[in-house]
Amino acid sequence: MSIVLDPLTPGAPHAPVDPMTPRPYRVTRSRQDTRDTLTLELEPVDGPPLRYKAGQFTMLHVFGIGDVPMSISGDPTRPGPLEHTIRDVGSVTHALVSAGPGAIVGVRGPYGTAWDVGVGRGGDVVFVAGGIGLAPLRPALMEVLADRDAYNRVVLLYGARTPEDILFEDELRVWAKDHGVAVEVTVDNGQHAWRGKVGLVTGLVPRAGFDPRNTIALVCGPEIMMTYAAAALSDRGVPDSQIQMSMERNMKCGVGLCGHCQMREHFICVDGPILTYDRLAPLMSVQEL
């Protein structure tokens, strides 16, 4: 039985009074991706669908419980439901992954900066993802694949905790087989049946096939993983200004008011979440910042 999460009246005129007012969206489908991760497809109760760019996020609101920032994981090049890939790690995310078709949630946004894949046209594109970080990268990868001939080599380096935690397994195969994406997957802990690579995703960077002088790199995952991945890409010769990173700080308002996501002079919800490594490198070397 699906749960109803919204005290608002579905079908009422959509007229939010300010950016902090959530807009009601109905869950149309939920897809189990891993044991603790699920993708929700959402459609507006009324009004036009949300328009967004790859890399942007929304604030998903569970009425009576709270809200949480969530990167959009859908395809920005095609109209369709709003997609969010959510890991069950807290009270709000638990309510979201428990919401079956028909449940109503609140959506604010989209917020933040986007992946700039266009600067990579004519060159190589490298995606480096750790864990759930593949979900925010998925829209950018789809944007590249929608114009595949405009790019040279496309590389996806992906690290997961275990084989059971690998996201979008079917899509990984399709991207490699049908679109010529060089997909390399590694896990931290491989079971006896796993025949793939074991180790950190940063270990894949030195031997990945791409031209560092003509490459853009997009990185998303745990902050410590991104620190080392960006350093490895920089060591390979990728210019720091060509390494884009998605910072997943604790965002609450989405509009730069509350200060929860402040990283020295940056408010990640408005200056990010996508920032280049030349801007982030001096900050990521400071412990506890």
Q: What is the mean pLDDT of residues 137-154?
A: 97
pLDDT higher than threshold 90 for residue 269: no
Closest CA to 126 of 73, 196, 202, 195: 202
Q: What is the pLDDT of residues 206-254, one digit of tens each?
A: 999 999 999 999 999 999 999 999 999 999 999 999 999 999 777 778 8
pLDDT of res. 88: 96
pTM: 0.90
CB 234 within 8 A of CB 172: no
Question: What's the pLDDT band for 1 if we cut at 50, 70, 90?
Answer: very low
Question: What's the pLDDT band for 192 if we cut at 50, 70, 90?
Answer: confident
Domains of the chain by start residue, with CATH: 23-111 (2.40.30.10), 117-284 (3.40.50.80)
Q: Which two tokens stand for residue 44?
A: 């507006």
Q: How far apart are CA 85 and CA 167, in angstroms?
A: 10
DSSP conformational letter for 72: B
pLDDT of res. 8: 46
Question: What's the pLDDT band for 289 if we cut at 50, 70, 90?
Answer: low
β-strands 66-71, 57-62 pairing: antiparallel
Question: Can you tell me which residue has the tokens 């009246």?
Answer: 9
Q: How far apart are CA 201 and CA 173, in angstroms?
A: 18
Q: What is the mean pLDDT of residues 128-157?
A: 97
pLDDT of res. 12: 45
Question: What's the pLDDT band for 274 if we cut at 50, 70, 90?
Answer: very high
